[in-house]
Chains A and B, each alone.
Chain A
Amino acid sequence: MKPAKLWSWLIFAFGAAYFIVPLLATFEFSLRIRREGYTFDAYTSVFSDGRFQASFSYSLIVGVCAILAGLLIVVPAAYYVRLRAPHLRPIIEFITLLPLVIPAIILVFGYIRMYNTSSPLPLLGTNLGTDILLTLAYVALALPYMYRAVDTGLRTIDVQTLTEAANILGANQATIIAKVIFPNIIVAVLSGAFLTLAIVIGEFTIASLLNRQVFGVYMQNVGANRAFEPAALAVISFVITWGAMGMIQLLARFAPKTARRD
């Protein structure tokens, strides 16, 4: 083996170990709940916990709602910017990057101040209002990823010509987005969706301060009171996140079918 290749492998092995060893250690620790040997009891305990099921389902529902709301905002916006207002692109990109710059804690304090029970729009006064606020907060949090994913998808198709072709055949703007543009960027949209889901599943700050029992808050509670279950939860959380990433890779394989070929 050439020295350069050897070095590449060594660096790769070091990087992989840096990520994998702590994970393996956590996984190994999560199996040691009993003195007599390795068992999956910590996982059984987590899965049978009603609070796990409730918080996980709640996070999943909020995540799906955030994805749908995000798509309804981002797809038409990115489409419009690309088609009619390319000069606005730098401004839109800057706005979509803000959630990365502004910490979640600032965002949530802003929400609490803006939407408390004595404000003109007292969303925090009801459970449904708080759920809506949490969903919209996640839409904002996922905006950088969702916008970039959709914009990348739009870049792979000739948006203007496809729009004009559909338009002259009688389609209106809504039909064009739904029937022509959206199906052609579905792979990019789904990767944005899975990224959003991964963010929502692990989010703690906003949900905690809005007093919502999401998966992140449940993990924190369990972590404060138990020994082995938090390790099991960390592994479960990783599997979910990596599962979402894996889905993005899997979906990318379907891309060539809809790719433009000249």
Chain B
Amino acid sequence: MAEEFLRIDKLVKAFGGNQVVKGVDLSFNKGEFVSLLGPSGCGKTTILRMIAGFERPDSGRILVEGKDISGLAPNQRKIGMVFQAYALFPNMNVADNIGFGLKIAGMPKPQREARTEEMLQLIGLSGYGKRYPFELSGGQQQRVALARALAPSPRMLLLDEPLSALDAKIRVSLREQIRQIQRELGITTVFVTHDQEEALSISDRIVVLNTGNVEQFGQPFEIYNRPQTRFVATFVGTLNTLNATVADAGAKTVTLGGTTVTIPALPASARNGEAVALTMRPEAVSLANGATRDIVLDGKVAEVSFLGSVIRLKVDLGDNAVNLDTFNDQRTPPPAHGAPVRIGIASSDVLVLER
């Protein structure tokens, strides 16, 4: 069984009467990479700042390895943190920035220099020690900020949207580098982001937050494929919603686009004649010609978006519309706008959200 490292226990925080964290309970394992994912104002940054010690919880506790750290000042917590705005000290060169925490801790100069060099190698910036922050690109600055946070060997790493200020390509390469370094060091890491793709690609587990509450806590595969709430289903990834009517609740059948189909996920609480929303991911829908899919619907191509390796089509089904993703095939151009198409959906991929 995995060893519990960080425990957040009934954490509550309000700012001026507005409760932004509402009794959050979470438990993270040692060496785990956990993302706090949610829209603006969901409380993710506030939770991170309470772990760091920059905000005091109104109630609840934060325990690291079983010890309550809620009352400790940030400089006593032995936590490393990387900020969205890099926060490198402009008056210090790269080496001095990385060595700052070590100097504060009283590490002698020779060891400090050796550790700084080790960190520079870790982030792939050997030879950059004498440069000043303003001489570096955004990505390089954030790597230095990561090295600075890791240099004093903290027991935990907090990342506060560290990739938001960077352009798309650097964001992807830096997130891979962060993950690789995190695995190498085995350091427990909490990563705050509002970017679901980032969270899904980098995390061992994801906490999806909404209005100060935990909506779901699980592995990226579970979060994406088995969302437990409507919010998670709609916030994480793209979701198609088809309006249908329950035909026979006992037989789990619904009427969709004039045809009756069986939906295994239809809840037992459904009543005959009730309107339900059938949801599915774009990749669960295929350009049918679809003998292998048990729901087959006819429509017209309303939009074609060429995304490189994937082509996303929006198909108009009359009273519904559905997005579907299909892999780019060099030999077969995508259907044209307005072309009639037949789509297929596996009923086992359909989730039912109450309307």
Task: Please list the residues of chain A having a beta carbon within 8 angstroms of any beta carbon in chain B.
Answer: 157-158, 161-162, 164-172, 175, 179-180, 183-184, 186, 256-262
Among all A-B residue pairs, the 4 with the closest Cβ atoms: A169-B101, A165-B87, A183-B91, A170-B104
Task: Say which residue of B73, B89, B104, B145 sits within 8 Å of A184 (CB atoms).
Answer: B89
> Are the C-beta atoms of B85 and A262 separated by less than 8 Å?
yes
Please indicate the chain B residues that have their CB under 8 angstroms from the CB of A170 in the complex: 75, 101, 104-105, 152
Q: How many residues of B contact A (CB 8 A)?
A: 30
- Interface check B13, CB cutoff 8 A: no
- Interface check B79, CB cutoff 8 A: yes
Q: In whole angstroms, what is the CA distance A171 to B89 when docked?
A: 13
- Interface check B133, CB cutoff 8 A: yes
Please indicate the chain A residues that have their CB under 8 angstroms from the CB of B231 in the complex: none
B325 to chain A, nearest CB (A): 35
> Are the C-beta atoms of A261 and B134 separated by less than 8 Å?
yes
- Interface check B77, CB cutoff 8 A: yes
> Are the C-beta atoms of A168 and B80 separated by less than 8 Å?
yes
> Are the C-beta atoms of A168 and B77 separated by less than 8 Å?
yes
Q: In whole angstroms, what is the CA distance A179 to B103 when docked?
A: 11
Q: In whole angstroms, what is the CA distance A260 to B89 when docked?
A: 9
Task: Say which residue of B90, B91, B104, B138 sits within 8 Å of A169 (CB atoms).
Answer: B104
Q: In whole angstroms, what is the CA distance A183 to B96 when docked?
A: 13
> Are the C-beta atoms of B100 and A258 separated by less than 8 Å?
no
Q: Is the interface of A mostly helix, strand, loop or mixed?
A: helix
Please indicate the chain A residues that have their CB under 8 angstroms from the CB of B101 in the complex: 169-170
> Are the C-beta atoms of B90 and A184 separated by less than 8 Å?
yes
Please indicate the chain A residues that have their CB under 8 angstroms from the CB of B105 in the complex: 170
Please indicate the chain B residues that have their CB under 8 angstroms from the CB of A161 in the complex: 83, 85, 87
- Interface check B278, CB cutoff 8 A: no
For residue B154, which residue of chain A has the nearest CB? A168
Q: In whole angstroms, what is the CA distance A161 to B160 when docked?
A: 11
A252 to chain B, nearest CB (A): 16
Please indicate the chain A residues that have their CB under 8 angstroms from the CB of B128 in the complex: none
Please indicate the chain A residues that have their CB under 8 angstroms from the CB of B148 in the complex: 165, 169
- Interface check B165, CB cutoff 8 A: yes
> Are the C-beta atoms of A168 and B81 separated by less than 8 Å?
yes
> Are the C-beta atoms of A262 and B165 separated by less than 8 Å?
yes
B152 to chain A, nearest CB (A): 7
Q: In whole angstroms, what is the CA distance A53 to B90 when docked?
A: 41
Please indicate the chain A residues that have their CB under 8 angstroms from the CB of B79 in the complex: 168
Q: A165-B81, A259-B134 are in contact. Are A157 and B100 (CB under 8 A)?
A: no
A9 to chain B, nearest CB (A): 38
For residue A175, which residue of chain B has the nearest CB? B104
Q: A259-B90, A261-B134 are in contact. Are A166 and B100 (CB under 8 A)?
A: yes
